[in-house]
Structure 1
Amino acid sequence: MTRQVRRLAERTPPQRERYADLLRAVAITAVVIGHWLAIYVTRDGRGFQGGSILQVASWTRPLTWLFQVMPLFFLVGGFANAASLTSHLRRGGNAMGWVLGRTARLLRPTTMLLGGLAAAALTARGLGAEPALIGVAVWLASIPLWFLVAYVAVMVLTPPMYALHRRAGLAVPIILTVLVGGGDLARLVLNVPYAGQANFLLAWLAVHQLGFAWQDGRLPSRRSVALPMAAAGFAALVLLTVVGPYPVSMVGFGGERVRNTSPPTLALLALAVTQTGIALWMRGPGNRWLRRLGPWTVVVAINSMIMTLFLWHMTAVVIGVMLLYGTAVMPDAMPGSALWLLLRVPWLACLALVLALLVTLFGGFERRAGRWAASVGTVKGVWPTALTIAGVGAVLAGLLALALAGPGHHGPTGLPVRVLVAYFGGVAALGFVRRRYSRPARIAGR
């Protein structure tokens, strides 16, 4: 594995935007560490109890401005998807073939996680574990899948949204931001039922469009653009949270009347603009640093298994809780206290070791998915197109049902039946189209 990664790093084409890969690696690493730090767990006669440190220690909430980097991930996603789509079309592929290939990269490691959680739940039940405990464990381990609802939807919409970007440029994210503000107004001021739910898609689309603009140069990385952008975004963020109606925390937690992520708000978009400005400002130094083989090899290694890292990091939490809590290594401590903070060191070390083992076991599925996805070029015809759309819709429905289910006993697999039926049915449909109807791009381009 180490030799393979080093060879990939050495063979990187000179035109590759290495800095985008660095940002993706930094974003996912920050998300993983942020989740690990935010969780508190106690154990008493009733078993394990837990929650978010944001609930009990208000001083931690401004720190979410550093650890809430999902806007950065969507920015890089927009850059990468625009570059991938344009390259795919130049090689003779079509948009439907691109969607099939791109979904394969995401869904193969996702399928491994869902299958692994179902198998673990069945095993635990057979060994006599309480159904309620299994339900909480599966719910906690599956939290990363909620994010995929938005990202898969945004990714699938890349072909039409990129075409819109080619026509209207930066006007698209501006209009999307206005729509997000309208949703906030209807929800927070006018109290319109279910208002703002469209922001789950509109806000992330807006950030994704910024990635398009970065990729084709409409959003240049000059300091004369990047610094004012970062300053304006930060000023808006302060005004909207410290002065305005939005909470300071960029990560939601129980008990909040308004959350900046559920659904995404103007405050979260202000953070996205700030992060975009900082990212563009640091592009030059970042690319110069990545010309060195050592740092670039580390970035290549992380990106080769980045979905596996993200998807399994909460499973590492479940395993870590069972291994550590209630032992001398991790005695009970008041969340937010000095002892609790000190105990974050063995906590992070244990979770990093567990996650490394999980990545060793499951990372190969993601790497093989990348090679498989690259072979998909074109998909044509009414039925293959309809089946692809239905498959994507079923996958999204399954992931959305999982996000809405919440903790609890949902059957022997720990997962609601509708989640399993919709998700695996959608994956089967997409796999059938890839095997039966897809053609390599090199053939289509002849």
Structure 2
Amino acid sequence: MPDPTLALPRGALRAAAARVDAATPGERDRAVDALRAFAILGVVLGHWLVTALVADGTGLHAASPLQDMPRLAPVSWAFQTLAVFFLVGGHVATRGYASARARGESYGRWLTARLSRLFRPVAAVLALWTVTAALLLLTGADFVTVHTLVKLALSPMWFLLVFAALTAATPLLTRLHPLWPLVVVLHMDLLRFGFGAPSWLGWANLAAGWLVPYALGAAWTRGELDRPRAGWILLTGGTAATAALVAWAGYPASMVGVPGASVSNLNPPTLAAVTFGLAQCGLALLLRDRLRRAMRRPVAWAAVALVNLSAMTIFLWHQTALMATTATGLLAGRLPGLHTLPDGPDWVAARLAWLPVFALVLAGCWATFRSCEQRGRGRRRSRVVRTHRPQRRATGAGARHV
């Protein structure tokens, strides 16, 4: 399977993209891959924009520009895209499980294959950060600094645990209406915020909140969301509900956590985060046809295929790329947008200038560790690939759902 690469000259890049396009089975729904790629890249850019590591006399500590500049909350609306990832995940897992059953494949074999794709790249991240943390502590680094770095590096893994649990429960969720987990979230928030119940009750929303878009993905597989009306209902209803919750129910405007805030919309998910996710899912469903047309362009499709082939590598290493850049930059002193307090427009402008550097370091991580994610794929092909086995080119990029 040819990998598209940005290191090629323009002519060679177009030729490589054309090969990837030709190697992709014609019946593949490329809009699904495009939505997954946009969801992953949205999370990456969001973290890079709202995560600051401030250097002071005591070491490095995490901060957020949303703390001192709450007017930047719309940034979190654009880049908090996990609901779309769970929507796509529910759709792909439900469809994949149905195909596995039709082939006579056991649940255990199907689940092992699904989870191995998720967790295969995790071992490298854990190993590197275990060694790094030990070396930092042994060389006299401040414990607070080490704790901050390790927490940021490993924080994306909570998402994998939730996603893995929902994937394992897919056979039980194929017919679940998204309204039921939404009702659970509503009642947990009523108990916490309306009746003073213990805050730990909110952790029930960690599963229920992300089950809402996951169940929507299952409904998509069943054909219940094919009409544009479904997308419009989710988009307008979710938007209106979120606006009402923020304006009149006291929910935070930011859809990501803000240090020092009394309530976070993500930790655990609140009703506002879930209704916002419904709006995002509605928009994603409405964009499907446009995305399918856009993905007919070989270069656009090759880029999306590349992200999908390395989705977990990109997701797991993007925070490491940020921290590696920050740590290296300390050799030159406290640099604006990298080590300074995120409290004004100057920091925002400087941080935007750092984004290409983060991307370059992430590309290095990708080149080093992508084999951890792709190892073993050649031994197991999707049904789509099997149906095209006489044509070798049918094993091309994007021929599997990650």
Q: TM-score range by the shorter chain?
A: 0.7 to 0.9
SS of the residue 2:201 aligns to: coil
SS of the residue 1:230 aligns to: helix
**1:255-270 → structure 2 map (5 Å cutoff):** 255-270=260-275
| Contact 1:100–1:373, Cα closer than 8 Å, also in 2 | no
Q: Name the structure 2 match of 1:275.
A: 280
| Contact 1:102–1:373, Cα closer than 8 Å, also in 2 | no
| Contact 2:59–2:144, Cα closer than 8 Å, also in 1 | no
The answer as to 2:246 corresponding to 1:241 is: yes
SS of the residue 2:63 aligns to: strand
| Contact 2:4–2:302, Cα closer than 8 Å, also in 1 | no
2:313 to 308, 320, 323: 308
**2-side partners of 1:357 and 1:72: how far apart?**
27
Q: Name the structure 1 match of 2:3.
A: 2
Superposition CA RMSD, Å: 2.2
**1:35-54 → structure 2 map (5 Å cutoff):** 35-54=47-66
| Contact 1:72–1:272, Cα closer than 8 Å, also in 2 | yes
Q: What is the identity percentage for the equivalent residue pairs of Structure 1 and Structure 2?
A: 35
Alpha carbons of structure 1 residues 131 and 224: separation in structure 2 relative to 1, 3 Å: closer
The AA in structure 2 aligned to 1:2 is: D
Alpha carbons of structure 1 residues 257 and 27: separation in structure 2 relative to 1, 3 Å: same
The answer as to 2:219 corresponding to 1:213 is: yes
Aligned residues: 368
**1:280-429 → structure 2 map (5 Å cutoff):** 280-325=285-330, 327=332, 330-331=335-336, 333-372=340-379, 374=381
**1-side partners of 2:380 and 2:263: how far apart?**
40
How many angstroms does 1:122 deviate by? 3.1
Alpha carbons of structure 1 residues 241 and 280: separation in structure 2 relative to 1, 3 Å: same
CA deviations 1:169-199 (Å, max 9, x no partner) are 6xx2111111111111111111222323211
**2-side partners of 1:343 and 1:149: how far apart?**
34
**1-side partners of 2:32 and 2:67: how far apart?**
34
How many angstroms does 1:52 deviate by? 1.4
| Contact 1:99–1:156, Cα closer than 8 Å, also in 2 | yes
Using the size of structure 1 for normalisation, the TM-score is 0.77
SS of the residue 2:120 aligns to: helix
The answer as to 2:209 corresponding to 1:197 is: no
SS of the residue 1:196 aligns to: helix
SS of the residue 2:54 aligns to: strand
SS of the residue 1:197 aligns to: helix
| Contact 2:59–2:142, Cα closer than 8 Å, also in 1 | no
| Contact 1:104–1:369, Cα closer than 8 Å, also in 2 | no
**2-side partners of 1:122 and 1:196: how far apart?**
34
Q: Name the structure 1 match of 2:394.
A: none
2:119 to 107, 123, 132: 107
The answer as to 2:151 corresponding to 1:154 is: no
Comparing 249-258 with 197-206, greater Cα deviation is found at 249-258
| Contact 2:246–2:272, Cα closer than 8 Å, also in 1 | yes
| Contact 1:9–1:293, Cα closer than 8 Å, also in 2 | yes
Which consecutive unaligned segments of at least 5 residues does structure 2 have?
Answer: 6-15, 384-402
Which consecutive unaligned segments of at least 5 residues does structure 1 have?
Answer: 377-446
**2-side partners of 1:231 and 1:266: how far apart?**
16
Q: Name the structure 1 match of 2:13.
A: none
SS of the residue 2:55 aligns to: strand
